[in-house]
Amino acid sequence: MIAGAEDVKALRKAGRIVGSVIEELKERCAIPGVSTAELDSIARAMILKMGGYPAFKGYRGFPGNICVSINETVVHGIPSDRVMREGDIVSLDIGVKFREYFADAAATVGVGKIKDTAAKLIEVTEEALNIGIGLAVSGRHLSDMSAAIQAHVELNGFSVVRAFVGHGIGKNLHENPEIPNYGRPGMGPILKAGMALAIEPMVNAGTFEIEVLEDGWTAVTKDRKLSAHFEHTVLVGDQKAEVLTKV
């Protein structure tokens, strides 16, 4: 969507809720011993208290309030009794509906002390997101973001997931356009100020290929190597994007 003034107010509120919850859960994840179900419960309580609703709950049948994806799980990890252990990396993906509007963000964190490769994967994935956001300006082609994300990731020896992409967002959780994290620059639609986008590189330590497990949701790397995921909801600007889900 292209947001007007009233749309932007609600999108900002939805974004602040998402950002606040992610920051709280990142702190909870830093120490081993918490279960993914506990994180799900904490997130739900925070979202409701701030006037939002967990956007993922029941979405296409998803059972959790948030997605919690550990180690080789790329996206859509279902909260459970699984306890996070020292050395795990955990991707937190949170969507919120506030009034009629949605915001969506993700971050990957290490639990306790993690291996150097895992730390590098997290660092590069977040850098790739920030590179993409830096190109979310009016007049650019959408694929300029995609190509720059892919180039940064592959320069560092990792791979970008092809099976899942970023997306437009607004009065629906997923809207057009799709935003791949790979491709050639100068392709696709021209970005316009006010477009609301969820930019989300998913980066694997090994192959970009994934598999979806029998539960129909949990997507894991085909080679079972680590994966990281970062995402922000942004508004395209004339000079630079406004990040709505950062606190």
Mean pLDDT of 187-197: 96
pLDDT at 247: 76
Q: Where are the alpha helices (DSSP H) in the chain?
A: 5-29, 36-49, 116-134, 142-155
Residue (of 105, 80, 77) closest to 90 by Cα position: 77
Record the tokens describing residue 115, joined without a space. 């291996």
pLDDT reading at 4 higher than 90: no
The fold for domain 5-243 equals Creatine Amidinohydrolase (3.90.230)
Both tokens of 143, joined, read 């694929």
Residues 6+ apart with CB under 8 A from 33: 83, 84
Which residues are registered as beta bridge partners of 2? Answer: 195
Tell me the pLDDT tens digit for each residue of 159-180.
Answer: 999 999 999 999 999 999 999 9
Helices then strands, counting H and E runs in the chain, come out as 4, 15
pLDDT of the residue at 239: 94
- How far is residue 170 from each of residues 6, 89, 234, measured CA to CA in Å? 12, 30, 11
pLDDT digits (tens, 9 = 90+) for 26-78: 999 988 999 999 999 999 999 999 999 999 999 999 999 999 999 999 999 99
Model confidence band, residue 5 (pLDDT cutoffs 50, 70, 90): confident
